[in-house]
Amino acid sequence: MDMTKESCRKFVEVLASNAPAPGGGGAAALVGAIGTALGNMVGSLTVGKKKYAAVEAEIVALQKKCDALQTELLDQVEADDIGFVPLARAYGIPKDDPNRDAILEEATVTACAVPMHVMELCCQAIDAIAVFAEKGSRLAVSDAGCGAACCKAALQAASLNVFINTKSLKNRETAQALNDKANAMLDKYCPLADEIFAQVRANF
């Protein structure tokens, strides 16, 4: 079931239940989409204003990019659910099955794919929000700060859904490669999101 088509209240209700999905990965994707939309809101309140005519073309182009990011992040809510299914099935394979380890390994790598993609999308969103915060309407700059905070939270949350899976991988080279990729994004974009937040906060 695509939980993004349910009400916010229903999503939170199911999230709090013992249902296997949505979980942290799906929640991270939704929060990332919300953060991206907040940045995009700054763009919407900038376009058409004479004061910002010099940056309008850049803002409009950025809005189109964020429209696509929002859609892609929302798509990851269901994708995370689907990506978890093979892993759940693999854990149900009898331990004496000679194929269990190989199936479990493959399913674990698959389970890393969506949260890793959510991280990548959040990084792109933070880059976009940095521009909205710098060049967008000063009347809406607080929304850029909110968006940066949300996307940072989504980035961090998604990373934990990568790390919990890489921890159990038998192939440590694969695990290390995935961990390195995730850590590189955290190391670059968490400070950038913090910088955006600090710059916005300095306006008040």
Instruction: Return d(Cα 117, Cα 29) in angstroms, integer.
Output: 9
Q: 6-14 contacts: CB < 8 A, separation 24 or more? A: none
Instruction: Kindly provide the b/e burial profile for residues 71-101, where b requires at least 16 CB atoms within 10 angstroms of the residue's own CB.
Output: ebbbbbbbbbbebbebbeebeeeeeeeeeee
Which residue is associated with the tokens 């940066």? 148
* Of 85, 66, 67, 166, nearest in space to 125 by CA: 66
Q: List the chain domain ranges.
A: 22-201
Tell me the CATH architecture of domain 22-201. Up-down Bundle (1.20)
pLDDT of residue 114: 96
Apex 116 CA angle, 114 and 122, nearest 5: 105
Listed as ranges, residues in the chain with pLDDT below 50 are none
